[in-house]
Amino acid sequence: MSKGPGLYADIGKKARDLLYKDYQSDQKFTITTYSPTGVAITSTGTKKGQLFIADVNTQLKNTNITTELQCKGASLYSAYNSILSTTIKLDEPAPGLKTIFNFKLPEIWQDDLCRNDKGNSLNASYYHIANAMTNTAVGAEVTHSFSTNENNISLGTQHALGPLTTVKARVNTSGKVTALIQHQWRPKSFFTIYGEVDTKSIEKSAKVGLALALKP
């Protein structure tokens, strides 16, 4: 039972996870380590073409307070492209209340990474579990842009081939068809293969991505 209202960021989260989570068209490697004091450090390296980008996330949990420090988007050649952010979550400072503080430093670096729609778009999403036994689900998202007066529709599905392997697929009105297969080869460690085809530019080569996430 929920103790209070949910967070705004959680609205449509299940549909977004089904449609976008783990879809990775680049080469990505993630490893998480834990210190004896309970600090979790997650390091991620992503190769985008000839550029290598590293993210580091540090998380500390203490009773009802969770603190996260993240350095996102630092390249091998320049640290000035990175964004430093700190998030502090207080779970129930008062009955039924959850508070989140977020700070970014500095706000003026790599402005395109911080930019949001600023009210320019309207989103609606749908999520349905078709078969809980096989983790089969379908989802959809409709986005309307007020500036271009265009709609974009994304449809997706997922299905568990077994207890350790899941397949997902997605198609949108832009003509892009994507799919992935993810295998948990050890507890909390995943290997993912991703592919994407642009049906409106079929002469272009398909995109292929690999991702490896390790947790002890």
Q: Please, which residues have CB within 8 angstroms of residue 7's CB and are 6 or more apart in sequence?
A: 98, 100
Which amino acid, residue 209?
G
Backbone angles phi, psi at 57, to 5 degrees: -125, 125
Q: Please, which residues have CB within 8 angstroms of residue 193's CB and are 6 or more apart in sequence?
A: 180, 181, 182, 208, 209, 210
Please state the CATH superfamily assignment of the domain spanning residues 11-214 in this structure.
Porin (2.40.160.10)
* Closest alpha carbon to 135 in 185, 184, 186, 177: 184
Q: What is the pLDDT of residue 103?
A: 65
Q: What is the pLDDT of residue 163?
A: 92
Q: Please, which residues have CB within 8 angstroms of residue 135's CB and are 6 or more apart in sequence?
A: 158, 159, 160, 166
Q: What is the pLDDT of residue 58?
A: 86
101, β-bridge pairs: 88
Q: What is the pLDDT of residue 182?
A: 95
Both tokens of 84, joined, read 């430093």
Q: What is the pLDDT of residue 82?
A: 63
Q: What is the pLDDT of residue 73?
A: 66
Q: What is the pLDDT of residue 36?
A: 76
Both tokens of 41, joined, read 């450090």
Q: Please, which residues have CB within 8 angstroms of residue 52's CB and are 6 or more apart in sequence?
A: 45, 46, 75, 76
**What is the mean pLDDT, run by run of 10 residues, along the chain of 216 residues?**
56 86 84 81 81 81 80 56 73 68 56 48 89 94 87 94 95 93 91 92 83 84
Residue with tokens 């507890």: 187
Q: What is the pLDDT of residue 6?
A: 60
Q: What is the pLDDT of residue 113?
A: 35
Question: Residue 93 has what DSSP assignment?
Answer: S
183, β-bridge pairs: 165, 191
Q: What is the pLDDT of residue 1?
A: 42
Q: What is the pLDDT of residue 44?
A: 86
